[in-house]
Amino acid sequence: MSTLQNDTLIRALTRQPTPYTPVWLMRQAGRYLPEYNDARRRAGSFLALCKTPSLATEVTLQPLERFRLDAAILFSDILTIPDAMGLGLYFADGEGPRLERPLRDEASIARLAVPDPAEDLRYVGDAVAEIRRALAGRVPLIGFAGSPYTLACYMVEGGASEDWRTVKAMLYKRPDLLHRLLETNSRAVSALLNAQIEAGAQVTMIFDTWGGSLPAAAYREFSLAYMEKVLSRLKRGEGSARVPVIVFTKGGAPWLEQIAAIGCDCVGLDWSPDLGEARQRIGKRVALQGNLDPMVLLASPEEVRRETEKVLESYGSGAGHVFNLGHGVPQLAQPENVEALVAAVHELSPKFHR
């Protein structure tokens, strides 16, 4: 495969000096881009977009054609794993992802098997390989998966929830059942991430979207411990070929030190913590990713630039910062605001790297 022409992200994730702060955005390919909406219409559905490697490649590259981003991220979905487990993933208009067969009893959890990435999720690896070829070394490619606990939330509830009452009831009434599900999920996540690495992903990321909804002790037992298991099973390589791992728990600010201790290279931050304070807490151990409030992208380009500068100033001088939003690009964001953000990072960050 092609030599990497822009390795700024890799260097920042491994806390090596960089000439500027690299920037990429969670959900950088999405509905705020007209060309994405066109591709989705042609695909016929979101799932078809994910499961057709040529279309997944097309939408992965779309934001790189518009913006000077320092990474591409695989276009896929965290729920491809429960879909491959036979739980019947579908997307209802205005409701987000749903699963036809949620896990509510011992028998259904006992039947659950780890999908074979080479068979049941082959389209993911095929997309990674095709994107790597299309990138031709331009920027690194990030692969990803959901955390075991976040997947369990959807698998037990059957979809998104305001309070996750069904999975939390299982956590307290039948912790043994939830642990069994989480162990299966951790093996499935490890297998999928290893398949992505084998296919060419140069960075991987674990999205723990709902771990932050747990109390501290439950977070450590049911979310953090299983992400640590995932990390222990990853074939990350060595030396210059080593694949860095980012762990992002939305709402995880109280536990940054504990997240940093599980073996990741970078801790992703949502928009709630002060980046400078987070750096004081853990910045000598791992890199930090974040953490502009995504809603800033609903303001004007001038305000986007001002708020971007505040984030850069909060981190301060030196290596180990990857600029990102605290969550995904909002659907109603204007592309010119995303352009203003990316340009601001590239123009304003070099002074922090002298």
Instruction: Calculate the CA 38 to chain-centre distance.
Output: 24
> Which of 211, 159, 197, 239 has the alpha carbon at shortest distance from 74?
197
- Two structure tokens written together for 169: 């009831």
State the residue for tokens 């590239």.
346
In a 3-state reduction of DSSP, which class is residue 7?
Answer: coil
Task: List all residues 6 or more positions away from 306 whose beta carbon is below 8 Å from its beta carbon.
Answer: none
Helices 148-157 and 225-233 meet at what angle, rounded to 10? 120
Please answer whether residues 315 and 20 qualify as being in contact, where contact means their C-beta atoms are separated by less than 8 angstroms: no
Q: Which helix (H) or strand (E) holds 97?
A: strand 96-99
Rounded Cα gap, residues 79 and 94, in angstroms: 17
Q: Which residues are catalytic?
A: 27, 31, 40, 77, 154
Return the bridge partners of 347, or none: none
Beta strands 96-99 and 89-92 are antiparallel
